[in-house]
Every structure is written in C-alpha cells, then in structure tokens.
C-alpha cells in the first residue's frame, strides 16, 4: 500500500477531530485551521466577536514568555551527580565558565533560528486544534505541520506507530536536487501542484524509518533510520503538557540539534552527551 493510500484511509478517522478544530478556529483565529477547499486567494471567514482571538493570543503569549522569556536565560547546564563526585562537589572554574558560554551559544542559536515565533504558533495550534507536528530541520530551525497536513497512529502504550505528512507545493517551488515525479504524480494537474508524502513508521525493534514518495508512489531519495523516538526530529504534540516534558530545548542532545563549536575549556572536560540541561 502506498503512502497516499494509507493517508487517505487514515484521513477518515481524523475527520471528526479536524472538523472540531475548524469549528474552534472559526470563533478564535480562522487562519490557524482554514476550511476545506480554501486556496490562497480565498477570503478568510471573520468572526463577529474578538473574545476568542484575544483569549488564544493572550494564553499563547503568556506561555511562550514562560518557556522562552525575552532577555533572560531560559535554560542552565548542569553536570550529573556521578561527574560531580569526581570533583568532590567542587567544579573547576574553567568548566563553570565553559558551561556558561555553552548556555549563551544555545540561547543565541535559538534566537537566530526563530524558535520564539515557532513556539508561539505551536501553542496556538495546541489551544485551538489540539494537535501539531514539529520538525527540527538540519539548520536548527523548526517547521510546523497543522492537523490537516498529517495523519498518525498510536499503539496501546501510547507509542507513535505511524506518521504520514502530506505536503503540497507548485512544481516551481520543488526543492533542488530531488527528482520530479513522472505523469500521475501531480496533486492537481490543472494547477501543476506536486504532492509529497513523508512516511515515518516504527519497526519491531523500536527504531523508526522515514522515506518520502510522490502521490503516484515514486520514491524520493534514500530512507532514514533512527534508533528510537527520542532521536527522531519529528515530534507529534497532542497536549500542552508535552511542551514542558519533551520540548526541543529540553531534549536538544537526544534529537537532531546541530551543535555550534564548543567554547574552549569545556570540550576537553566533557563531551555533549555527558551534559544535561537543568
């Protein structure tokens, strides 16, 4: 079964949640979950009151400030207890300075990659739709996918089993270096629109594999494998609690964070895997 066929099959199970999300968006922020069939030229429905929009904006702004406060450090590096026992509780000065520099580098990277704006949009999606997928790109920026852009499956233990993301874009906007589909791989023959599916599946050993294919079933590039869910750059958030327990800034070393160059004095003491954010 192709990714498109699996996506269409699971889309029927998603319909009730998607309809509820669109109803919520109609009375809050319609741009968060547009109606089915809307194009970029269509006019958004405007609610007759602004109370819902004010509530979503206020809550998302307060939560974003709590997670990523402006002008203040939002994280602190600490050493595990077993490492501190080697120094008998006294951390050398150069290690403390190196940790402080590493914190500043992470904070500067977060500001440069625009995590604050993406976090705000992610919280708004959770408040209105209750679902969002975050993708940590190789350059440390974050891309979001709305509920109408993906389908997923979970097992009895709450582990992600299947995630399929649907992306539609014109042929002229196709990424460089990937082969374009042959006839039958277009989402809309009239508008010359391509449809790309990202298929992520959990294997029996707990690893996750990803491959991409066009709507006609043609594969794009090579498949990628991650040892477990923590290493995967895709995160499906289903509640606001996940922002506290599995946010990208608290799991940077277990996911696909690309570290800048370590400051002098800390790389010789501890590798990144021995550090943990406090």
| Domain layout of the chain by residue ranges | 3-66+114-250
Long-range contacts of 46-51 (CB under 8 A, 24+ apart): none
- Residue 217: what pLDDT? 87
The mean pLDDT of 64-90, rounded to a whole number, is 81
The pLDDT of residue 184: 53
pLDDT above 50 for 262: no
User: Is the per-residue pLDDT at 233 higher than 90?
Assistant: yes
> Can you tell me the distance from the alpha carbon of 187 to that of 205, in angstroms, rounded to the nearest whole number?
35
Q: Which helix (H) or strand (E) holds 134?
A: strand 132-136
- Signed CA dihedral, 230, 234, 237, 242: sign only: positive
At 245, the pLDDT band (50, 70, 90 cuts) reads very low
What is the pLDDT at residue 213? 92
Instruction: Over range 253-263, report the average pLDDT.
Output: 44
Q: Which residues have C-beta within 8 Å of that of residue 3, sequence separation ≥ 6?
A: 164, 197, 199, 213, 217
Q: Do the Cβ atoms of 113 and 90 come closer than 8 Å?
A: no
Predicted confidence (pLDDT) per residue in 79-123, tens digit: 888 877 877 767 788 888 888 888 888 888 888 898 999 999 999
Nearest alpha carbon to residue 4 among 203, 190, 168: 168
């Amino acid at each position: 079964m192709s990714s498109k066929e699996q996506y269409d099959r699971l889309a029927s199970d998603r319909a009730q949640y998607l309809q509820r999300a669109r109803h919520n968006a109609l009375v809050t922020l319609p741009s968060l979950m547009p109606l089915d069939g809307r194009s970029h030229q269509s006019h958004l429905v405007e609610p007759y009151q602004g109370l819902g929009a004010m509530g979503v904006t206020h809550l998302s702004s307060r939560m974003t400030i709590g997670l990523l406060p402006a002008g203040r450090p939002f994280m602190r590096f600490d050493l595990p207890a077993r490492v501190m026992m080697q120094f008998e509780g006294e951390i050398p000065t150069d290690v403390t300075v190196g940790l402080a520099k590493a914190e500043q580098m992470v904070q500067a990277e977060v500001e440069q990659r625009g995590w604050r704006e993406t976090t705000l949009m992610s919280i708004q999606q959770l408040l209105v739709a209750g679902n969002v997928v975050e993708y940590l790109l190789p350059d440390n920026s974050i891309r979001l996918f709305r509920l109408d852009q993906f389908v997923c499956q979970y097992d009895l233990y709450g582990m992600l089993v299947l995630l399929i993301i649907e992306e539609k874009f014109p042929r002229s906007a196709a990424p460089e270096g990937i082969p374009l589909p042959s006839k039958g791989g277009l989402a809309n023959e009239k508008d010359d629109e391509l449809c790309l599916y990202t298929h992520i599946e959990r294997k029996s050993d707990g690893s996750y594999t990803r491959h991409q294919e066009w709507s006609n079933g043609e594969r794009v590039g090579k498949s990628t494998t991650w040892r477990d869910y923590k290493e995967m750059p895709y995160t499906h958030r289903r509640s606001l609690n996940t922002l506290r327990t599995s946010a990208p800034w608290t799991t940077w070393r277990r996911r696909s964070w690309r570290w800048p160059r370590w400051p002098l004095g800390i790389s010789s003491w501890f590798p990144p895997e021995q550090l943990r954010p406090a």
